[in-house]
Amino acid sequence: MESEQKPTGMGSSPQKGGVTQPSTTEEASKAKVESPKVEVKVESPGAIVGGVPETSSDRGEWQEWVQPVVDVISKLPDYLVAFIEQYKQPLLVLAIFLSGIIAVKVTLAVLDAINGIPLLAPIFELVGIGYTGWFVWRYLLKVETRQELYSEFQALKSQVLGRNSQ
Distances (CA, A) of 165 to 33, 87, 147, 154, 158: 99, 36, 17, 8, 7
Mean pLDDT of the chain: 78
pTM above 0.85?
A: no
Higher pLDDT, 79 or 15: 79
The predicted-structure confidence for 101-112, as pLDDT tens digits, reads as follows 999 999 999 989
Number of folded domains that form the chain: 2
Q: Report yes or no on 15 lying in a domain.
A: no
Answer whether residue 4 is part of any domain. Answer: no
pLDDT digits (tens, 9 = 90+) for 50-101: 555 555 566 677 888 888 889 989 999 999 999 999 999 999 999 999 999 9
Task: Confirm whether 43 is domain-assigned.
Answer: no
Whether residue 41 contacts residue 54, with contact meaning beta carbons closer than 8 Å, is answered with no
